[in-house]
Amino acid sequence: MPLGRIRIVISTDADIVVARRSGRELADQIGCSHTDATLVATAISEVARNIVTHAGRGEIIISPVDEGTGEHTAVEVVARDEGPGIPDVERAMEDGYSTGRGLGLGLPGARRLMDTFEITSEVGVGTTVVMRKRRST
Partner 1 sequence: MAVPILKQGDYLIATIQSAMTDSEAEQLRDDLMERIGRYRSRGIIVDITALDVMDSFAARSLRNIAHMTLLRGADTVVVGMQPEVAFAMVQLGLTFEDVHTALDLEEGLAFLEARTGR
Partner 2 sequence: MGTSSEPAARAGADVASTTSGGDSTLLPELVAHLRERRTQLREEWARRITEAGLLTAMTSDEVFNEATSVYDNYVEALETGSVEALEEYARSLSERIIPRGVETYEVLGIVLLLRDVLARSLFEKYQHDFELLLRVLDAYEPAANRIALTVAVGFVEERERVIRQQQEAIRDLSTPVLQVRERLVILPIIGALDSQRARQLTEQLLRSIRTNRAKVVVIDITGVPEIDSTVANHLVQTVDASRLMGANVIITGLSAEIALTLVTLGVDLSKVNAVGDLQGGIEEAERLLGYEVIRSQPADQR
Residue 81 touches partner 1, criterion: CB under 8 A = no
Compute the Cα dihedral for 100, 105, 108, 111 and give only its sign: positive
Residue 117 to residue 104: CA distance in whole angstroms: 17
Short-list 54, 84, 64, 71, CA closest to 23: 64
Query: Would you give the binding string for partner 2 spanning residues 12-41, x where CB under 8 A is met?
Result: -------------------x-x-x------
Residue 123 to residue 125: CA distance in whole angstroms: 5
Nearer to partner 1, 11 or 71 (CB): 11
Query: Where along the sequence are the contacts to partner 1 (CB under 8 A)?
Result: 12-14, 16-17, 20, 24, 34-35, 37-39, 41-42, 45-46, 49, 95, 97-98, 104, 106, 108-109, 112-113
